[in-house]
Structure 1
Amino acid sequence: MERVAARWWHAVDDGRLQCDLCPRECKLRDGQRGFCFVRMRDGEQIVLDTYGRSSGFCIDPVEKKPLNHFYPGTSVLSFGTAGCNLGCKFCQNWDISTSREIDSLADQATPEAIAQAALRTGCDSVAFTYNDPTIFAEYAIDIAAACRERGVKSVAVSAGYISPQPRAELYGAVDAANIDLKGFSDDFYRRITGARLQTVLDTLSFIRHETDCWLEITTLLIPGHNDSDAEIERMANWIVNELGPDVPHHFTAFHPDHRMRDVPRTPPATLSRARQIAIDAGERFVYTGNVRDARGGTTWCPGCGVGLIVRDWHRVREYRLTADGCCPDCGRAVPGRFAERLGNFDGRRVPVRITSRRGSHPLVAGSRNRVL
């Protein structure tokens, strides 16, 4: 694919062009790249290098995004590109988010091809994940439109570090989002991610109150950095007061990676403690992730307390919601997007190839890889 003209930029007085995609507002001279690396100045415009190009495609359970209230049991065609507009020291996908080898992106596909691939593989949705869709927002918006034309849904998995105009366009286009709320202090955001907390809070409020996009939140708990009782309680109180008690919140376990290999794994007890703090603050749907925890993986009825969706890791073991998304015992509605019946995806991750890289041979179809 060729470079495409980026949206959201303007010229400044000193002759540079300012990228208006995110709060970094990178100001570029000809040939310079922004912090994300994939947006660069080419003459008198800013271009996006990764439109139509991906680091790979996989079929995942939607619960892996994680989304627990968005068509449970269904499959999602997941993909990412390269680069990121944050610099998280703990990044668990650092090989993709910090990649500068744009020419090595293996799979090439138009928005229409991705939407058709989702249909052919029986995927109910397409997810922009692995790296942040903010930096390839033009591509993501076009894919979301192609998907919607074919009855396929779209999902953004993002850190939410985006400026107001592109924020409105991206989250007005997709059907669901999981936003990382990485901590609840500006000091943590500045030191550990290179970003600012308030922008993320603004994104969460915008999605919740100004769009029809289904919203869930993930917080990766890092021992000694963002896992104190006080910080978790402040976060939970903000969510309940500003977003409401029904936004699902996932606390997930950190493992040593990237530039934080000296930090220990998150103990399961920390996740359980955070979950209870959030519930005590008024959050109704709080989950634990990256660990096996039957209680923390189950969707409990907010009315009578019965287990409605019982999960084992990313697989749904029991599903008791009625066709209209209510508890069969007390009739209480569970907020979310639910189909008449549970999806039938078995939860196995399946790598696929949309196309082969130029000059290489396609992967052979089989139990581990599918060629589309």
Structure 2
Amino acid sequence: MNHPGRYWHALDDGRLQCDLCPRYCKLHDAQRGACFVRMREGGQVVLTTYGRSSGFCIDPIEKKPLYHFYPGSSVFSFGTAGCNLACKFCQNWDISKSREMDSLMDAALPEEIAATAARHGCRSVAFTYNDPVIFAEYAMDVADACHARGLKTVAVTAGYITELARGDFFAKMDAANVDLKAFTDDFYVKLCGGHLQPVLDTLIWLRHETDVWVELTTLLIPGHNDSDAEIAALAAWVRNELGADVPLHFSAFHPDFKMNEVPSTPPATLVRARRLALEAGLQHVYTGNVHNVEGDTTSCPGCGARLIVRDWYEIRDYRLDPKGACPGCGKLLAGRFGEYGEHGEPFGARRIPVAIHRGA
């Protein structure tokens, strides 16, 4: 069903402008925006994917990736279709660039999603696989249903959202992993079809004007955003504008979508990026999509003790108290923590497809 959109206004020339993201698509009747899922229908802009998903899975929270948000817990994950960026290297392009899934998705009302997540013992629900900004109304309604059941909510997003919409959207989120794709506008323009500054603005606002827990991910693509200078500049900006305690994840690219000619990211690149970011003053820098226990381990910024030892998505050792404090020096780790394993055994490196529980 088509659901009324919240963020648009009429222009003097008769078109309707979508005000959800910085693309500001201007639509004639029956025309869709660049995201493909927001469309003008008569005198309004509607969301065409409300209540429909590309599928539902239970994942470890570390896969989002979130390393400082209830480590070891399970998260109920789902997405829809479409995207408001046009990344040539998209790793989920079959979902984000779909033009058919609009009519081929699993149906689920917000209350049914929350009930199913609670039934499976999940600590949180994640809006992921494609960017939840473009299905904001659906995500926000699901978030309300989740909070009513005591579940946390997570946005996995590129942060490409307007000042008008971001207050409403992130007020419903407990945590976000924001994909900071590179640290040059040239990269965003040529490889993503967007701009860097709106993402930086969102990050500064999230960090300083909200209570949302924020972690960052940068996919390093050989020859495009992996130079020492760019990595050092990105890390320095995070330290200066967001804070040294904001976790930064460097993940490995693999050839996909429109960049099949680019080689995979060598593990050594991620190790180098992590070293540069730590040298720039960041406290928590991780490597992703490669096997590197050191790059997955959380250490105390006070005494250097290894507090959470990870091997892929498996937690091998956990030493924080329920408040997130180091047992050695007492320093509080930045993040959101609780009694480790209070929702059962640590979830580990599983991925479990699930069906929606009807009649919630």
Work out whether the TM-score is over 0.5.
yes
C-alpha distance in structure 2 between counterparts of 1:294 and 1:192, whole Å: 31
C-alpha distance in structure 2 between counterparts of 1:62 and 1:346, whole Å: 9
Deviations 1:27-69 (A, max 9, x none): 0011100000000000000100000000000000000000000
C-alpha distance in structure 2 between counterparts of 1:120 and 1:49, whole Å: 28
Aligned partner of 1:251 in structure 2 is 250
Q: Which amino acid aligns with 1:204?
A: L
Aligned partner of 1:279 in structure 2 is 278
Aligned partner of 2:299 in structure 1 is 300
C-alpha distance in structure 2 between counterparts of 1:254 and 1:81, whole Å: 23
C-alpha distance in structure 2 between counterparts of 1:6 and 1:53, whole Å: 16
Question: Contact 2:312 / 2:349 at 8 angstroms: preserved in 1?
Answer: no
Deviations 1:153-190 (A, max 9, x none): 10000000000121111111110000000000000010
Deviation at 1:315, TM superposition (A): 1.2
Q: Which amino acid aligns with 1:162?
A: I
Report the 3-state secondary structure (helix = DSSP H, G, I; strand = E; otherwise coil) of the residue aligned with 2:354.
strand
Aligned partner of 2:155 in structure 1 is 156
Question: Contact 1:157 / 1:177 at 8 angstroms: preserved in 2?
Answer: yes
C-alpha distance in structure 1 between counterparts of 2:106 and 2:47, whole Å: 16
C-alpha distance in structure 2 between counterparts of 1:240 and 1:177, whole Å: 18
**Following superposition of structure 1 onto structure 2, how do residues 35-184 of structure 1 map, counting pairs within 5 Å?**
35-184=34-183
C-alpha distance in structure 1 between counterparts of 2:136 and 2:340, whole Å: 32
Question: Contact 2:115 / 2:357 at 8 angstroms: preserved in 1?
Answer: no
Question: Contact 1:81 / 1:105 at 8 angstroms: preserved in 2?
Answer: no
Whether 2:345 is the aligned partner of 1:354: answer no
C-alpha distance in structure 1 between counterparts of 2:47 and 2:102, whole Å: 13
Question: Contact 1:55 / 1:107 at 8 angstroms: preserved in 2?
Answer: yes
C-alpha distance in structure 1 between counterparts of 2:5 and 2:82, whole Å: 16
Question: Contact 1:19 / 1:25 at 8 angstroms: preserved in 2?
Answer: yes
C-alpha distance in structure 1 between counterparts of 2:304 and 2:76, whole Å: 33
Question: Contact 2:5 / 2:47 at 8 angstroms: preserved in 1?
Answer: yes
Could you list the runs of 5+ residues in structure 2 that have no partner in the other structure?
A: none
CA-atom RMSD, angstroms? 1.1
Q: Which moved more, 1:323-332 or 1:338-347?
A: 338-347
Could you list the runs of 5+ residues in structure 1 that have no partner in the other structure?
A: 357-371
The number of aligned residues is 356
C-alpha distance in structure 1 between counterparts of 2:88 and 2:314, whole Å: 30
Deviation at 1:105, TM superposition (A): 3.1
Aligned partner of 1:362 in structure 2 is none
C-alpha distance in structure 1 between counterparts of 2:164 and 2:211, whole Å: 17
Report the 3-state secondary structure (helix = DSSP H, G, I; strand = E; otherwise coil) of the residue aligned with 2:250.
strand
Question: Contact 1:50 / 1:102 at 8 angstroms: preserved in 2?
Answer: no
Question: Contact 2:313 / 2:348 at 8 angstroms: preserved in 1?
Answer: no
User: Scaled by the length of structure 2, what TM-score is found?
Assistant: 0.97
Deviation at 1:318, TM superposition (A): 0.6
Q: Which amino acid aligns with 2:289?
A: N
C-alpha distance in structure 1 between counterparts of 2:200 and 2:185, whole Å: 11
C-alpha distance in structure 2 between counterparts of 1:10 and 1:104, whole Å: 27
Aligned partner of 2:330 in structure 1 is 331
C-alpha distance in structure 1 between counterparts of 2:322 and 2:28, whole Å: 56
* Displaced runs of 4 or more, over 4 A: none
Question: Contact 1:37 / 1:100 at 8 angstroms: preserved in 2?
Answer: yes
Percent identical among aligned pairs is 66
Deviation at 1:325, TM superposition (A): 0.7
Report the 3-state secondary structure (helix = DSSP H, G, I; strand = E; otherwise coil) of the residue aligned with 1:173.
coil
